[in-house]
Amino acid sequence: MTVTCCIDNHAHQVLDVELASAASRPAGLVQAVCGHVIAAAAMVAPDGPPCALCTAVMDVRQPRDRRHG
């Protein structure tokens, strides 16, 4: 899922497992796939433009079995 950071106002990609583990942390910080650490308060912020680095990382992580044709 995407989480918008209140610092850079970009929508970062965060893995479900990261969100689950972040819930048990006192600070409630989650780390995006690009390495950016996001404050949980950003959950209520409106969606910002997608983080280019996150988009690139997620694209690489995708299994390359979805081809046109």
Under rule CB under 5 A, residue 32 binds Zn ion: yes
Number of residues that bind Zn ion (CB under 5 A): 7
Nearer of residues 62 and 65 to Zn ion, judged by Cβ: 62
Integer Cα distance of 18 and 22 in angstroms: 6
Q: Give pairs for 42-46: CB < 8 Å, separation 24+.
A: 42/3, 42/4, 42/5, 42/6, 43/3, 45/4, 45/5, 45/6, 45/9, 46/4
* Nearest residue (CB) to Zn ion, 53 versus 67: 53
Pick the stretch among 11-19, 22-30, 37-45, 59-67 that binds Zn ion (CB under 5 A).
Answer: 11-19
Query: Contact positions toward Zn ion, by CB under 5 A?
Result: 12, 32, 34, 36, 51, 53-54
